[in-house]
Amino acid sequence: MIKRTYVVVCLFFAMFIIGFSVKTAKNNNDGMLKVESVPLHNSRGWGYEIMVDHKIFIHQEYIPAISGKKAFFSEEDAMKTAGLVVQKLVKGKPVAITRNDLDSLKISFQ
């Protein structure tokens, strides 16, 4: 459990640092990296990927911030969460999703 927490903290710290240099752009003509979210569908439900400059930056198959491996019930829930991750990334904030974030987005995970 401690090892998993350490890995998660390190991952989010790395994403935080990268987030300072990433901004969304309609196109790449202005020298900015393009950040976008893509829904993922699997046998358990929905997830998402965050793409930076057309490369996978985050691959999230399960609902973050909750225990166990539970997929999102709907594509809409997955994409609302992905949208929040993109907003945090673009603003240079840590992209960690909390239970409070899930509650504010009205994401059901029970």
Q: How many CA atoms lie within 13 A of 85 on its CB side?
A: 29
Whole-number mean pLDDT of the chain? 81
> What is the per-residue pLDDT across 49-96, written as a single tens digit (0 to 9) for each?
999 999 999 999 999 999 999 999 999 999 999 999 999 999 999 999
pLDDT confidence of residue 83 = 97
pLDDT at position 2 over 90: no
Flag whether the pTM goes above 0.85: no
Tell me the mean pLDDT in the region 8-30. 46
20-24, 61-65, 99-103: lowest mean pLDDT where? 20-24
pLDDT at position 27 over 50: no
pLDDT confidence of residue 19 = 52
Domain span at residue 6? 2-104
Q: How far is it, in rounded angstroms, from Cα 68 to Cα 13?
A: 22
Tokens 């909390």 correspond to 98
Evaluate whether residue 63 is within a structural domain: yes
Q: What percent of the chain has pLDDT over 70?
A: 71
Evaluate whether residue 110 is within a structural domain: no
Number of domains making up the chain: 1
Strand arrangement, sheet containing 55-60? 35-42, 45-52, 55-60
Exposed e or buried b for every residue in 7-42, given b needs 16+ CB within 10 A?
eeeeeeeebbeebeebbeeeeeeeebbebebeebee
